[in-house]
Amino acid sequence: MHKKVLVCLPLNDAHRAALEASVPEFEFRFNALDDVHAEDVLWADVVLGNAPVSMIRQNKHIEWFQSNSAGPDAYLKPGVLPENCMVTNATGAYGLAISEWMLAMWLGIQKDMFLYRDRQNQRQWAPIDRPVRGITGARVLCVGMGDIGSNFARRAHMLGAEVVGVRRTVHPDTPCPDYCLRVVAQSQLDEELPEADLIALSLPGTPETNKLFNAERFARCKDGAILINVGRGTTVDSDALVEALRSGKIFGAGLDVTDPEPLPADHPLWGEPGAIITPHNSGKFSLPKTLDNIVDIFIHNLKRYAEGLPLDNQVDRTTRYAADQNGGRRLLSTL
């Protein structure tokens, strides 16, 4: 079997050599994301990397699209990819990088580090007159227990927190991870919110999750809870979050994603001292290991593709989740 594979990622020589050696009978082209041409996209049977949607849409024979992100939302819209094109995502690549970002954000907010940075910029020697918070014994509610949420839950547990996981659905025969007190279905979210000191969101952007955290849900939260969001900005009603921060209902919010995104310069979230915002870069390739993981995942699936085996990390175009389906499975950070 001879297939043409386009790779649109900033790879090094070792990455390229590993890809070419994985299935020698395949033909490869390598382009950086900012140097992808329509001719290359049209040439390919398989694409690794988030090439421009406008170009991908023109390829009517593409057989498999491997996203370099966990949420390839733009590529799942009708008409972008052929109906019979397999779509896989990068689940398993980002758990390490993003869970470490979440830990850094959580500690920074709890210990007032960001407020002290503000005072340093103003050359103020001014202690903050209130007790800081601890991690040991804190209740952490991980809303989303995919690769990212599970990685963070495991790390929070190791630091002494009590972790409760929230999944879209919970199967009775699925054992609870040893790093969680329990894992509940999303339908039970409201029952868990009043006890949560930290709410960590790592959800995809779907109609089901749109504005999941609105004014009504913030009202159910424990007074002074902290919110972290690394999934999609649409999960949180930004106006409701502003009000929750101003009232003190939410003590602080660490946001790597916002709605809208990019966040306009005049949006009130920018002015909230309790909101710490980064430009959707907790993942990407800021940690070099992430790119290694993406290449490993692709090589893993590329060999299966060449052998006619089901691909892992297949994305359901309706739910937008990677799941065990069509003979494949959902990968975790093991590669």
127 with 183, same domain: the answer is yes
Peptide bond between residue 310 and the one before it cis (omega within 30 degrees of 0): no
265 with 135, same domain: the answer is yes
Query: Is residue 186 in a domain?
Result: yes
164 with 296, same domain: the answer is no
Query: Is residue 312 in a domain?
Result: no
Identify whether 307 is a catalytic site residue.
Answer: no
The tens digit of pLDDT for each residue in 224-256 reads 999 999 999 999 999 999 999 999 999 999 999
Read off the tokens for 332: 């975790």
**pLDDT reported for residue 327:** 64
| Environment class of 122 (CB within 10 Å of its CB; exposed 0-12, middle 13-18, buried 19+) | exposed
State the catalytic residue, choosing from 20, 100, 162, 261: 261
The tens digit of pLDDT for each residue in 194-212 reads 999 999 999 999 999 999 9
81 with 118, same domain: the answer is no
Nearest to 45, CA basis, from 25, 30, 65, 31: 65
**pLDDT reported for residue 71:** 84
What residue spans of the chain are helical by DSSP H? 13-22, 38-43, 53-56, 95-110, 113-121, 147-158, 189-192, 215-220, 238-247, 288-306
125 with 243, same domain: the answer is yes
- Say whether 186 sits in a helix, a strand or coil: helix
Query: Is residue 218 in a domain?
Result: yes
**pLDDT reported for residue 326:** 65
Query: Is residue 329 in a domain?
Result: no
The tens digit of pLDDT for each residue in 2-39 reads 999 999 999 999 999 999 999 999 999 999 888 899 99
**pLDDT reported for residue 335:** 41
For 145, the enclosing helix (H) or strand (E) is: none
State the catalytic residue, choosing from 280, 300, 317, 329: 280
Share of the chain above pLDDT 70, in %: 97
Q: Alpha carbon 102 to chain centroid distance?
A: 11
**pLDDT reported for residue 1:** 79
Rounded average pLDDT over 150-160 = 98
**pLDDT reported for residue 50:** 95
117 with 263, same domain: the answer is yes
- Say whether 61 sits in a helix, a strand or coil: coil
332 has a pLDDT exceeding 70: no
The tens digit of pLDDT for each residue in 283-329 reads 988 899 999 999 999 999 999 999 999 999 999 887 777 766 666 67
Query: Which residues form the domain of 208?
Result: 94-277
Identify whether 171 is a catalytic site residue.
Answer: no
Read off the tokens for 222: 């424990």
Read off the tokens for 112: 């007032």
126 with 203, same domain: the answer is yes
The tens digit of pLDDT for each residue in 40-64 reads 999 999 999 999 999 999 999 999 9
CATH number at residue 35: 3.40.50.720
334 has a pLDDT exceeding 70: no
Query: Is residue 330 in a domain?
Result: no
Query: Is residue 320 in a domain?
Result: no
Rounded average pLDDT over 163-181 = 94
**CA end-to-end distance (rounded Å), the chain:** 26
Rg (CA), the chain: 21
Read off the tokens for 237: 């009603």
Which residues touch 324 (CB under 8 Å, ≥6 apart)?
330
Structural domains of the chain, count: 2
Query: CA-to-CA distance for 232 and 139, rounded, in angstroms?
Result: 23
Query: Is residue 290 in a domain?
Result: yes
Residues recorded for the chain: 335
Identify whether 130 is a catalytic site residue.
Answer: no
180 with 303, same domain: the answer is no
How is 109-144 classified by DSSP, letter by letter?
Answer: HHTTHHHHHHHHHTT------S----STT-EEEEE-
30 with 105, same domain: the answer is no
State the catalytic residue, choosing from 133, 154, 232, 330: 232
300 with 273, same domain: the answer is no
Query: Is residue 333 in a domain?
Result: no
219 with 102, same domain: the answer is yes
Rounded average pLDDT over 67-95 = 93
67 with 123, same domain: the answer is no
